[in-house]
Amino acid sequence: MPTARTTPATPPASTAFRPRLNDAALVAIAAALALISFQIQTNEPDPLPTALLIADRATGLLGCLALWWRRRYPVQIGIALATASVYSETVTGAAIVALFTVAIHSSIRATATVAAISVTALSTYQLIWPDQTTPPATVFVIIGLGYAATVAWGLSIRNRRALVASLRERAAAAEIEAQLRAEQSEREARQAIAREMHDVLGHRLSLLSVHAGALAYARTAPPDDVGRAAEVVRENAHRALQDLREVIGVLRAPVGELPMPAVADVLELIDEARQAGTDVELHDEAGLTTGHQAIPDLHGRTLYRVVQESLTNARKHAPGAPVTVRITGRPDDAVVAEVVNVPPSTRTRQPQGNSAGLQGLQERTRLVNGTLDYGPTDLGGWHVRLRLPWPT
């Protein structure tokens, strides 16, 4: 039986607080870079104008605070901080963190846009207020390599997360598929058991109905005849119980350990039908019931069930009507079994049915790549025709 997958009601505490811890760490890193920039600006021999320094440091502080909402508005914050890098050196650290976030959570196009704005803005700042101790070419190379490394790191984390998410989805899909296969196997097993019970018990109970009906109407018959009919009823009731135990045994034992009918048992079916008063003629031109030819066990069992269900239906719907069973075919071609009954001589009340037996036979036949046709004949009777491949 498939078991439902259990998941914890609430995520672990470490998983719930991890994003906020990451945010706090990145804000701290951006703040540290801003303090370094502030220290460098303080030690500059030619300081910037006071108003620009105030705007620079205020922007750096606001940029570090804005990183707390970087997951919700990654592109907007990234563009704003990248643009602010034109006049603010202390916001550079926050702008790099914002670009890193965009590379992880946004599209390639958005990442390229924010990266281009960041490189342009910081390069513009260096052109307006160049570093007096480092050659300009070196500064631009450092800027380009730094932003390229930031984007590459963010994209690698994004791809790894996408891979992990894809693997989780595939694992979940595989688990659901396994559950569906288990449910389908269980449903098929139940249908197989239902077919076996219908075929076996339907045949036995139809024999019981015939003999019990004979006892009910022949109350003035000699005691010996009544005793023989009662013995037949008792014997078929005992066989029905045995068949029921065998079918239920499917739930407890492997199928290979259960006695299964074969094509040769068709002779026993016909003898039982004749004892019940049905005139049955068998024409086995293929020699299957006599053992002259052999077919696979599954094919033979299917043929047996078709004959069994056809004789059962003939007793229920056309009591007293003669039945002809004809088996033809040859190896490497096909085996054909046809059961035909003429209409009953007297019109009787037809029992109600839902064709479950014939539908079950169609399913059996489909499993062995065969075909099953049935319907009324031109003379008012009924025919069932089975065609199965006959491999050697």
Residue 255, pLDDT above cutoff 60: no
Mean pLDDT of 85-108: 85
pLDDT for the residue 125: 79
Burial status of residue 30 (CB atoms within 10 A of its CB: 0-12, 13-18, 19 or more): buried
Mean pLDDT of 104-131: 84
Highest-confidence range of 49-58, 84-93, 111-120, 176-185, by mean pLDDT? 111-120
Report yes or no on 303 lying in a domain: yes
Report yes or no on 74 lying in a domain: yes
Q: What predicted TM-score, i.e. pTM, was given to this entire model?
A: 0.44
Q: Can you give the residue range of the structural domain that contains 392?
A: 260-392
d(CA 286, CA 294): 9
Report yes or no on 343 lying in a domain: yes
d(CA 208, CA 217): 14
Task: Give the total number of structural domains in the chain.
Answer: 2
d(CA 390, CA 334): 5
Report yes or no on 174 lying in a domain: no
Question: How confident is the model over 332-390, as pLDDT tens digits?
Answer: 889 999 999 988 876 655 555 556 677 778 888 888 889 999 999 988 889 999 999 98
d(CA 77, CA 85): 12
CATH number at 374 reads 3.30.565.10
d(CA 88, CA 68): 19
Residue 42, pLDDT above cutoff 70: no
Residue 29, pLDDT above cutoff 90: no
Report yes or no on 4 lying in a domain: no
Q: End of a domain among 107, 133, 159?
A: 133
pLDDT for the residue 27: 76
pLDDT for the residue 356: 65
Q: End of a domain among 133, 155, 184?
A: 133
Q: How confident is the model at residue 9 (pLDDT cuts 50, 70, 90)?
A: very low
Report yes or no on 207 lying in a domain: no
Contacts of 274 (CB under 8 A, 6+ apart): 280
pLDDT for the residue 301: 87
Instruction: Indicate the Cα dihedral angle 31, 37, 38, 41, nearest 10°.
Output: -170
Residue 261, pLDDT above cutoff 90: no
Looking at the DSSP bridge assignments, the partners of residue 338 are 326, 385
Residue 133, pLDDT above cutoff 80: no
Report yes or no on 106 lying in a domain: yes
pLDDT for the residue 21: 76
User: How much of the chain, in percent, has pLDDT values that exceed 70?
Assistant: 76
* Strand order across the beta sheet in which 382-389 lies: 280-284, 323-330, 334-341, 382-389, 371-376
Q: How confident is the model at residue 257 (pLDDT cuts 50, 70, 90)?
A: very low
Report yes or no on 190 lying in a domain: no
Q: End of a domain among 133, 168, 194?
A: 133
